[in-house]
Amino acid sequence: MIILLTGCAGFIGARTAEILLESGHDVVGIDNLNDYYDPQLKSHRLARLESTKRFQFANIDIEDSSSLDRLFSQHDFDAIINLAARAGVRASIVEPDVYLSTNTQGALNLLRLATKYGITKYVMASTSSLYAGAPMPFVETADVTRPISPYAVSKLAAESLAYTWHHLYGINIAVLRYFTVFGPAGRPDMSPFRFIEWIRRGEPITLYGDGSQTRDFTYIDDIALGTIAALGIEGYEIINLGGGNSPLSITRMIEIIENNLGINAIIKMETSCDADMQDTSAVITKAFSLLGWRPKTEPIKGFEKTVVWHINNAAWLSKIKL
């Protein structure tokens, strides 16, 4: 297939693009290469993709409907994978307008163009942050109509728009709610990347809360494979992609990183944020029944691989701003 993949220089986008290319698909990737976090990471990921002939890159913002339209007119896309987003709960409280503009208006632009150009497959990234306040473990049928961060609001709106476009125009849509994705070449605003680097550099960790909060960590390769599998969805489906009821506490994550680096962490405690979730845990029965998907990489093994990547890339990672 010829696939439009937005956010191709992002953490999940780049790995998804790599696996698509390895599988023989053609990928047109777009990204606005913003500086929400250190752009060296995006340059590193993009360089890997641009070494493949079947990959084409365009520096386009999904908020720019005119530039998107021109791109769509130049290609015969079979599917859209929309992974472009502003992510992060805390930052969304500071800049809510940016989150709504990118995550909601940007999604609307893509849905409109899918209809205009007859594209019937649309996969979009959503978030486990929507489940705040729902009973654990989180199942797709939970009531998520009371989000507690602007980030979650923007994603809920994008999910709703996607359903509307499915209802009105018959587009096949898979909404993927990701659970704490981690792995090599991750995001430096997320705790796995930051904690590994802080400990490796001998700098203090900033830990919000007491470390007892848990996350259903999901390794990047598993997330990318689940995202690609979702191209086969017919109708409209919301699907959890998570570890599957095997969450780790933040304290345990720190211990695993310490053990793999052979360095003890220096921990600086800070008060948690009201928009942070205490625990996350995914029910992934639907992912298995519809996609044949379940995570293959246990979190402990995933952290081992991630630490090795940080050690092997220490020379340039030491320059990354955290």
* DSSP 8-state code for residue 37: S
Whether 36 is catalytic is no
* DSSP 8-state code for residue 279: B
Contacts of 71-77 spanning 24+ positions with Cβ under 8 A:
71/4, 71/28, 71/30, 72/4, 72/113, 72/116, 72/117, 73/117, 75/2, 75/4, 75/28, 76/2, 77/2, 77/3, 77/4, 77/28, 77/117, 77/119
H/E run at residue 28: strand 26-30
Identify whether the C-beta of residue 134 lies closer than 8 Å to the C-beta of residue 144. Answer: yes
What is the rounded distance in angstroms from the CA atom of residue 270 to the CA atom of residue 115?
47
Identify whether the C-beta of residue 189 lies closer than 8 Å to the C-beta of residue 43. Answer: no
- Listing DSSP states for 188-199 in one string gives TTSHHHHHHHHH
Which of 117, 228, 233, 118 minimizes the C-alpha distance to 173? 233
By DSSP bridging, strand 181-182 and strand 248-249 are: unpaired
Q: Which residues pair with 174 in a beta bridge?
A: 123, 237
Q: Which of 151, 178, 219, 236 is catalytic?
A: 151
Residue 125's SS3 state is: strand
What is the rounded distance in angstroms from the CA atom of residue 322 to the CA atom of residue 320?
6
Identify whether the C-beta of residue 91 lies closer than 8 Å to the C-beta of residue 34. Answer: no
What is the rounded distance in angstroms from the CA atom of residue 249 to the CA atom of residue 258?
14
Catalytic residue annotation: 151
